[in-house]
Amino acid sequence: MRLTMFRLLLPAVLLVALVGVLSSCGGGDDEGGGEESAGIPSDFKAPTAAPDNAKEGGTLTILNEGDIDYMDPGAAYYQVTYMVTLATQRSLMGWPPDATQPVPDLAADQPQVTDGGKTITFTIRDGIKYSPPVDRDVTSADVKYAIERSLLPGVPNGYTAAYLGDLEGFKEAEQQVAKDKTTAPDISGIETPDDKTLVLHLTRSSSIPVIQALSLPVSAPVPEEYAKEFDAETPSTYGEHVTFTGPYMVKNDSSGELTGYTPGKEIEIVRNPNWDGDATGDFRPAYVDEINIQEGFSDPTSAAQKILDGDSQINGDFPPSKTIVQKVATGQEFSKDQLVAVPSGGNRYIALNTQKPPFDDINVRKAVIASSDREALRNTRGGELFGPVATHFIPPLIPGFEEAGGLQGPDLDFLANPNGDPKVAEKYMKAAGFKSGECEGSDCDITMVGDDAPPGLDTATQFKGQLEDLGFDVTFQPVAHDIMYTKFCSVPAQEPQVCPNVGWVKDFNDPQSILQVPFSGDSINPSNNSNWPQLDDPKINKAIDQAVTITDEQQRAETWGKIDQDITALAPAVPWVWDNDVLVRSADVAGVANLFNGEWDLSYTSVGG
């Protein structure tokens, strides 16, 4: 008990210290759009533009805890992997650091949308060449092949079906793959009338999410004549022979085999000799000559300390620990601007299984949310800098955020108090039939499966205590993160009543990518399920299905904002933070963060300043 109390109190103590320090910084306000809406004090706002005196040259070192998920752009899906792909690949649409909407990258201009949003036409820029050994110009057929190969099981892409499934001929292509797993199928809805033109025909007017999805690495061109032999292997070995179109590339040999990538150890990134940013209208300045990603730094405190003390280093996939945040925030040992925060575009919430008692009763769910101290949950991540307390699901900077209620959230009594409101909780428990205002009976013996390591473990432990205060008898099973998902929380048949360590990061800056997969009943899968509350409300499902096809931006934001409010009102989960990514850099690094993936932007960051 004492240890639990200590661990519960410690984040609060740190938070008080941090807030005390931050409040003396003349911090910004929490209202309004932009990073202020993410609760980031102005002293810790990440730069999203390179300084005027950014230096060319030098080597930038990135310290990572783990590896990227896939080097193959057709399979890449981690935010930290996007750090590499944004610098090495040119997708149809791209993300300059300060962009909140994608801009043409491989495409010469914004696409033409016709036929009521069912036809999208791209023109490919001239002069974009593949890195050695392919050494030729990119054509529209390469983008067609890139999308089609992502259906192969040997190229495990997690989002093509979700966002590009409206392409004409997509279902037929999936059937082709079921018969022949080593040859990329033909999607009839993708046409390439000439080398520079790509035309996409959709079955419905879902052009907005499709264009957004084409900002992801899946649309990075892949030369079929080069990649075919690798894609014929099971699984595809193209990831060991990737060719690049961005300002940088992973070191390779004359056959194209990536010699600079040792999985789990390091990635050596060098300049792409065939890249000409000026001639091809690339927005990336590409200051540094080399980028070295070093992996395996398992202790975030010592790794962050190494960055802060050292030269030309930045962090990759790990946030600095609370100890480091506090150290930098005081400004005594390091310059405060060596630590910045940027909205990640993600949320974290505690899923309540709406298909299992007692959480099949909306009043019980509302009571649990009402009683939750969401600020304490947020503080298990590290405090205010790590994100504002969430009041709904669309994060800041995503269209629909303000329409859903912004930081204050929708007008719902069970979410009104971020520190919890026992009276409101009691009201809802009584409405659920628990006369005492607390949970009673065998339905209150519940199971929670969560992370076995901090900070997820801290969050789960914190929430367990809050549930027990409401009368629940909680059996908490801490397991490894991957087991939590693949054996329990993402398998509806095995899912416990509570999954405390779930959340969703946007796939792109459209609210559909935040709400559709996690909350539509149509997306519930028997395994690898990401609708953790298993919410299956016909009205919500219909609203989501209809909202996908809205082509007017403002109407989209309003509609999805309303959907977010409606989902929140059904209380399927306890939203507790909109994540910020906290980044650290060495003093000589002019770091630039990208708002798209909430990481340092390697094409804009420079060293030697």
Partner 1 sequence: MLRYIVRRVLWGVALLFLVSAVIFLIFYVFPSADPAKLRAGRQANPQLIEQIRDQLGLSDPYLEQFARYMTQVFTPFDWFGAAAHGGTGPLNFGRSFQSNTPVSEIIYERLPATALLVAGAVVFWLLMGLPVGIISAVKRRSALDRTTMVTSLALISAPVFWLGLVALYLFASDVGLIHVFPGIGSYLDADSFWAKCWSLFLPWLVLAAATAAIYARYLRSSLIDVMSEDYIRTARAKGVSEGNVIMRHGVRSAITPIVTLLGLDVGLLLAGNAILTESVFNIPGVGREIVVAINRSDLPLIQGIVLFGAFFIVTFNLIVDIAYAYLDPRVRYR
Residues in contact with partner 1 by CB under 8 A are 63, 66-67, 69, 75, 77, 153-154, 156-159, 161-162, 174, 177-178, 181, 234-237, 239-240, 262-266, 294-299, 302-303, 305-306, 309-310, 480-483, 485-487, 490, 517, 523, 525-530
CB-nearer residue toward partner 1: 181 or 562 = 181
CB-nearer residue toward partner 1: 307 or 425 = 307
- Give the count of alpha carbons within 13 A of 585, CB side only: 26
CB-nearer residue toward partner 1: 156 or 521 = 156
Within 115-159, residue ranges assigned H as helices are: 140-149
Could you count the other beta carbons within 10 Å of the beta carbon of residue 21? 17
Q: Could you write out the DSSP letters of every residue in 514-551? A: HHHHHH-GGG--SSS---TT----HHHHHHHHHHTT--
Q: Give the whole-angstrom CA distance, residue 209 versus residue 378.
A: 31
What 184-192 contacts at long range (C-beta under 8 Å, 24+ apart), as own/partner pairs, is 184/145, 184/148, 184/149, 184/151, 184/152, 184/224, 184/228, 184/231, 185/148, 185/151, 186/148, 187/144, 187/147, 187/148, 187/151, 190/144, 190/147, 190/148, 192/139, 192/140, 192/141, 192/144
Nearest-10 crossing angle of helices 224-231, 140-149: 10
Shortest reach from residue 57's CB to partner 1, in Å: 19
Q: Give the whole-angstrom CA distance, residue 320 versus residue 602.
A: 19
Shortest reach from residue 75's CB to partner 1, in Å: 8
Shortest reach from residue 394's CB to partner 1, in Å: 18
Shortest reach from residue 177's CB to partner 1, in Å: 8
Shortest reach from residue 185's CB to partner 1, in Å: 13
Shortest reach from residue 494's CB to partner 1, in Å: 11
CB-nearer residue toward partner 1: 27 or 346 = 346
**Six-digit token pair at 342?**
């940027």
Nearest-10 crossing angle of helices 456-469, 2-23: 110
Shortest reach from residue 196's CB to partner 1, in Å: 32
CB-nearer residue toward partner 1: 154 or 410 = 154
Look at strands 445-451 and 261-262 and give their pairing: unpaired
CB-nearer residue toward partner 1: 193 or 296 = 296
Shortest reach from residue 477's CB to partner 1, in Å: 13
Give the torsion through C-alpha atoms of 381, 316, 345, 34, to 10 deg: 100
Neighbouring-strand partners of residue 191 = 199
Nearest-10 crossing angle of helices 362-371, 422-431: 170
CB-nearer residue toward partner 1: 39 or 496 = 496
CB-nearer residue toward partner 1: 300 or 405 = 300
CB-nearer residue toward partner 1: 325 or 439 = 325
Place of tokens 């304490």: 376
**Six-digit token pair at 437?**
């205002």
**Six-digit token pair at 159?**
């989002």
Shortest reach from residue 309's CB to partner 1, in Å: 5
Shortest reach from residue 72's CB to partner 1, in Å: 9
Sign of CA dihedral 63, 383, 454, 527: negative
Q: Are 286 and 264 in contact (CB under 8 A)?
A: no
CB-nearer residue toward partner 1: 51 or 153 = 153
